[in-house]
Structure 1
Amino acid sequence: MEDLTLVIGNRNYSSWSLRAWLALAHADVEFETVLLPLDTPQFFERIGEYSSSGRVPVLWHDGVCIWDSLAIGEYVNEQFASGGLWPEDSASRAMGRSMASEMHSSFIALRNALPMNIRASRVVRLDEATQSDINRVFTLWADARAAHADVGPFLLGQYTLLDAMFAPVVSRFKTYDIALPDDLEDYGKAVLADTAMVQWTAEALQETDIVDADEAGEPRE
């Protein structure tokens, strides 16, 4: 293995891989990417070479294995970004880490009903649980933006690990035509226009593999 290697799934579908990749991209560090196509024999044959978790993403650095997106983000922040992927202000860091942890552990209905699918333009009928998750996301974003609007366009003003954690959700809202409240439209645009996100999206659009489980809903007219 190279000194710094990130193992990911399909860029089109793997939201957790995207989060880890964005952390590395924003740390401005060179790394190798290994892609294992999801739900394929190749994935199940090779994932054990990288992690006993059986999941992506996985980061290897000089013999150290980190196998969880949030843990990878924190490791990258410490090792390569001199702490700059969180704000200097302790209150803002606390808010960011709380929100990132909630994203990490919650929103199951949203994830299941609206899987990340960058190439698609689809529509899904929202049930009560999914709409509740969406509303909660909007509340979190609005609270963060209200506290940091004078700093910059992202949730905590500057781009942080919190934006990496929510970037797949912004992508989902685009795929499934979920309208953002007026006061959050600029945030959604900033995430999608981020240079690293643009690169990931462009590469996702070149993929051709289909993961049937993530092709939710029907094509939009």
Structure 2
Amino acid sequence: MVQATLTISSKNYSSWSLRGWLLCRLAGLDFEEKPVSIDDPGTRQELLLLSPTVRVPRLAHDGVEVWDTLAIANYLHDTFPDAGMFPADRKARAHCRAISGEMHSGFFNLRSALPMNIKARHAAFKVFSGARPDIAHVKEIWGDCLRAYGGPFLFGDAPSVADAMFAPVCTRFRTYAVELEPPLAAYCRTIFDWEPMRDWEAAAMAEPDEMAELEVEF
């Protein structure tokens, strides 16, 4: 069996590590986690929200090394085509790729104003005005997908790359008490009930609190 290693950083704070990890679980890949210290400069850059393209998460598999979450998604899809990471229907698959790419390259104001912190709960958080259009657009994307494909995941009965890409947003909305319409709240519950997500969150809750500087006011 080919040994695979996924390099990740904080499970509590690192949205990009979460995405890469969920993608590996979605593909059915048997992999070993390789955590890196938050004192590593590249890791801190990623945790401090300055870049989605640092080399964490990083997957090593069968002589290949690949980083960046969408590159990992495409590599895993190519390697495990029967895993169903993208919808089988051509139109739905294109839609899935489009919103996954949008999550990857956009929504900077949302990410910076609502940093991922799985342990935290802020019942009355004033959302920075610049993040509100991003929040509205996420809601629009989710609503469109749930109506078009019937839920409970964004593209129907099974999770896809898009769900892995948007899962950290569900945690952000919960942390900062972002109000959601019932279908969108139900979608977030689906993500939280997804077995890989439960496993990640349990590990995040057990992680030491080490990044106080991520508590930024906007």
**Would you say same fold, with TM above 0.5?**
yes
**Counterparts of 1:115 and 1:28, CA distance in 2:** 28
Q: Which consecutive aligned stretches of 4+ in structure 1 deviate over 4 angstroms post-superposition? A: 40-44
Give 2:149's aligned residue.
148
Paired-residue identity, %: 41
| Amino acid paired to 1:74 | N
Task: Report the CA distance between 1:101 and its aligned residue.
Answer: 0.5
**Counterparts of 2:42 and 2:72, CA distance in 1:** 24
Distance change in 2, residues 1:62/1:98 (3 Å) = same
Give 1:130's aligned residue.
131
Task: Report the CA distance between 1:217 and its aligned residue.
Answer: 5.3
Q: TM-score, normalised by structure 2?
A: 0.88
Distance change in 2, residues 1:81/1:198 (3 Å) = farther
| Amino acid paired to 2:111 | R
Gap runs ≥5 in structure 1: 45-52
Would you say 1:202 and 2:202 are equivalent positions?
A: yes
Q: Deviations over 1:67-108 (max 9, x none)?
A: 101110121122135251111101101111100010001000
Gap runs ≥5 in structure 2: 45-52
Distance change in 2, residues 1:195/1:125 (3 Å) = same
SS in 2 for 1:82: helix
Task: Report the CA distance between 1:127 and its aligned residue.
Answer: 2.3
Task: Report the CA distance between 1:43 and its aligned residue.
Answer: 5.7
**Counterparts of 1:162 and 1:41, CA distance in 2:** 29
Contact 2:125-2:177 within 8 A present in 1 as well = no
| Amino acid paired to 1:79 | T
Q: Superposition RMSD on alpha carbons, in Å?
A: 2.1
Give 1:106's aligned residue.
106
SS in 1 for 2:154: coil
Q: TM-score, normalised by structure 1?
A: 0.87
| Amino acid paired to 1:59 | L
Give 1:181's aligned residue.
181
Distance change in 2, residues 1:54/1:170 (3 Å) = closer
SS in 2 for 1:33: strand
Number of matched residues?
Answer: 207
Contact 1:114-1:216 within 8 A present in 2 as well = no
**Counterparts of 1:54 and 1:109, CA distance in 2:** 18
Give 2:50's aligned residue.
none
**Counterparts of 1:43 and 1:138, CA distance in 2:** 29
**Counterparts of 2:43 and 2:128, CA distance in 1:** 32
Give 1:16's aligned residue.
16
